[in-house]
Amino acid sequence: MWERIKAWFKHSATILWARIVGLGGLLFAALEAMGGFFELPGIRENIQLLLNPRYVPYYIIAIALVTELARRRTLRKGAESSQHTLAGAQLRRSQEFSRDSSAATGLSPDSPWRFCRGGG
């Protein structure tokens, strides 16, 4: 079950946090709309107390901190798994370069003249 939940967020804490923030915004918007639609002034007043302009900078700071922590977690997790693939990619690039240069000059990669243009 937990693996399915993690897969829904693509195993990324950043995506999970973004969806939590989006859901919170959607919840506030829905509550405010319902308060206006059903003429419930108590809901609107409570939301306005929570979203008091003097608190908004603190909300933004908190969201930014959690976002950075989530992103660092995802990067650390990705770096651990990609260390081996980076070395493999560098090896493949050097092999492709060697193959391309030998095809362009007509010399084998083992030839002592492989670095000279025109073979001589």
Tens digit of each residue's pLDDT, the chain (120 residues): 878 887 888 888 888 899 999 999 899 888 888 877 887 778 778 877 878 888 888 989 999 999 999 888 878 776 666 665 655 666 666 666 666 555 555 555 565 555 555 544
Q: What is the distance between the alpha carbons of residues 109 and 12, in angstroms, rounded to a whole number?
A: 43
Are residues 74 and 13 in contact, defined by beta-carbon separation less than 8 angstroms?
A: yes
**Range 17-36 burial, b when 16+ CB lie within 10 A, else e:** beeeeeeeeeeeeebeeebe
How many whole angstroms separate alpha carbon 6 and alpha carbon 19?
Answer: 13
pTM to 2 decimals? 0.55
| Buried-exposed string 91-114: b where 16+ CB fall within 10 A, e elsewhere | eeeeeeeeeeeeeebebeeeeeee
